[in-house]
Structure 1
Amino acid sequence: MNTSLLQFSPGAFLAPVVDWLNTNLHPLFSAISTIVETVLSAIEAALLVLPPPAMIAIVVVAAFFAVNLRGAILAGLCLGFCLIVGFWTASMQTVALVTVAVFISVLVAFPVGVLCARYRPLEAAVRPVLDVMQTVPPWVYLIPAVMVFSLGRVPAIIATIVYGIPPMLRLTTLAFKQIPREYIELGSAIGAHPRSVLWKIEIPLAKQTLLVGLNQCILLSLAMVVLAGLVGAGGLGAEVTRGLTRMEMGLGLRAGLAIVAVALLLDRLSRGLLDRNRPSAAAR
């Protein structure tokens, strides 16, 4: 009996579960993989359809009107660096991966965060789950994702989504809990539909904290790109992994600096949008 206990391992229990999932839910997993790959390929094609100088010019102009002159200059410098070091395609692949992961993370975290702000028992039930999600090392998420979806970009997207949901969900809950009840009661008193109260009163008042949550979600998602390269997701993470496996310091350093450039670009642009919206929010 003692020998059997010593020989017991969680893998012996989980292996049949994974086999059952792959056998019985294979059509579902295949459909998810096809959808994710299609969306990723479409975004990558859109980012790579124009020559790099033309795309950089478009991003610079958009950053100038959306943020300010400083943001436009920073966008040009960061994207220009990615082009000069020879990682333009890999950088756009990374941006596409982060875009899809952040979109799905927000799509999941926002409604759940709103519900948690309104129903305290739900918040109490979700909080331990978020604690576990933020405590478990991020590369651990890759293991079950790879078991189910095999190697490639799909498990990288799944792991990135799981890693990016907690900050967005927590800050969404905080944002809606901080809204003064007087505004909500005023909307109800004038006969506004709850949906109108949400979109015309609550979301504008919570916008600053929501943008902070979006910024954190973007940065945490981008932090997964190196780990994503370990499972064949491509992008800058694959270049870093290639530099490590081949012991090519120059390749790894250039890819690492390109990741820093993309992170700096996304962080400063999101923060610029936040700072630009702050005066109008204060005026309200």
Structure 2
Amino acid sequence: MSLSHLRGELRINEPLMRYTSWRVGGPSDRYYRPADGADLSEFMHRLPNEESILWMGLGSNLLIRDGGFRGTTVSVHGVLDQLRRIDDTRVFVEAGVHCARLAKLVASWGLAGGEFFAGIPGTLGGALAMNAGAWGGETWSVVESVRVIARDGAVRDLPASAFETGYRSVTAPESDLWFVAAELAFTPDHDGQAPARIRRMIAERKASQPVGKPSCGSVFRNPAGDHAARLIEAAGLKGYRIGDAEVSPKHANFIINCGHARAADIESLITLVRDTVRRTADVDLIPEVRIVGEAA
């Protein structure tokens, strides 16, 4: 692949553990951080069609195996970071914007309905890809349209209605599309309490979740009518460890890296939790986390 005229940064055999919230993972064959959206389009256009691509924001809800990723990782956090107001209720947000930043800025503009973004530990691109949510809110409930990029680098806008969405799931109208931006719609914050609600939510999160320790956020989806954390705790797994990977004693739906965990330890613990809850409660917990790459 020719790199002439590309303005971004390409690294070879780049360790991904430094870019994931779990702080684990082997190297990516190639790691590209584009200079901007135009550079990203040019880079995508030059990639071979058979090349595997891993799109990465903050690396939350992502487990990279210890053997690394055979392909190209594209990093958009800090690059696709535009966030601006369109009109009284709509905002334009690029995929690399941290969800917490989105929540706080929308609230400061006197808009409500975006407070839940403060509880999503990633970027908008990842939130769009999995319909991430927190505190009863979901990403696609506020999406009006999205901007996507295809393998050939072509960028186009699509209405939200072009996608099928559900609880922690999003189905695109065709394969090999990645989110680069979205238009989101909110409502006027008539009581002026959106910033206060965010502060309460963050305080509740700090009190109930292992904030500050390497994790991916919630590991499993909540099954209908129940909570994954309750089922895991009922199975006696709070504090259970494999290597340096531990089911958090503070919140059972979090797996934390106690210092030197391997991706294999975390994946083994995910499997053990699923098997145990299936055996004790007859419930199959579905992981929210995406697991990619090769074993060591």
- Give the TM-score of the pair, scaled to structure 1: 0.21
Higher strand share: 2
The higher relative CO (CA closer than 8 Å, separation ≥ 6) is in 1
- Give the TM-score of the pair, scaled to structure 2: 0.21
Higher helix share: 1
> Larger C-alpha radius of gyration, 1 or 2?
1
